[in-house]
Amino acid sequence: AEKKAKALRNRAAELEHEQKGMALLDIEKQQFEKYAQQVIDAAAKKGRNVYPLIKAANQGIGGGRGPVFTEKGGIRPSYQVKDTSGVQLPNYKRSTTEAVKNIHDKCDIERSKKSLGFIW
């Protein structure tokens, strides 16, 4: 009984800590967006190219090319390739990506049975 109560208290403390962290991330995100907009406006007034600034401001926290994790405060992780170059993987998803996944992923067992010629 004591272990369960302690585990529940620990879990509640973890959840509270995570919520506080999310609130801090939201505040930081709002401050960054305000600052980024001020920088973009100042650059536009001077006649500079603001496209790179807009792109950088829209990337989200983390600056990676991965998907945005809304449950983790809008963080965009970076995924590097596993070779010596260490380049980030791209984030685009095209129809060819889905086609290749369908070729290699045989999750539909009935379709697999038909392709192998099984009758039962």
Residue 65: Cβ within 10 Å count: 15
pLDDT at 9: 93
Give 15-22's long-range contacts (Cβ < 8 A, gap of 24+): 21/73, 22/73
Per-residue pLDDT tens digits for 70-117:
676 667 777 777 777 777 777 666 777 777 777 776 666 676 666 676
Contact 67, 89 (CB under 8 A): no
In angstroms, the CA 67 to CA 64 distance is: 8
For the cut 80, the answer to whether the pLDDT of residue 20 exceeds it is yes
For the cut 90, the answer to whether the pLDDT of residue 1 exceeds it is no
In angstroms, the CA 85 to CA 106 distance is: 32
pLDDT at 45: 95
- What pTM was estimated for this model as a whole? 0.49
pLDDT at 16: 94
Query: What's phi and psi for 69, nearest 5 deg?
Result: -95, 100
Contact 64, 77 (CB under 8 A): yes
pLDDT bin (cut points 50, 70, 90) of residue 8 is very high
